[in-house]
A = this chain, B = another copy of it.
Amino acid sequence: MSQKSKKVVCHISLKDGVLDPQGVTIRNALAQLGFDDVVEVRSGKVFELTFKPEVTNDVRAKSEEICRRVLANPVIETFGVEES
């Protein structure tokens, strides 16, 4: 009897209104390359967490705590958790 390990994807993105210099730089580069239909680029991060198959606690709650405490900066970033 083998159990599959549980995977959770954490999406971290900048809050609306927070400046995104990386996104601005990419938008400008795209315009120079001829992709001038793109008016805005916003960057974000993704972390895929793989849990032990035998994890008993609530994986979603645990992942949200990990986002809040470790992965995201709650001052400027928001996060979302998606079980897969």
Contact = CB atoms under 8 A, between A and B. Distances in A.
Interface of A: 5, 11, 13, 23, 26, 29-30, 33, 35, 37-52, 55, 57, 62, 66, 69-71
Number of copies: 2
A46 B46 contact: yes
B41 A47 contact: yes
* Most chain B Cβ neighbours within 10 Å, of A23, A30, A41: A41
11 contacts: A11-B46, A26-B47, A29-B70, A37-B57, A38-B66, A39-B52, A42-B48, A42-B50, A43-B46, A44-B46, A44-B47
Contacts of A29: 70
Contact of A49 (B11, B41, B51): B41
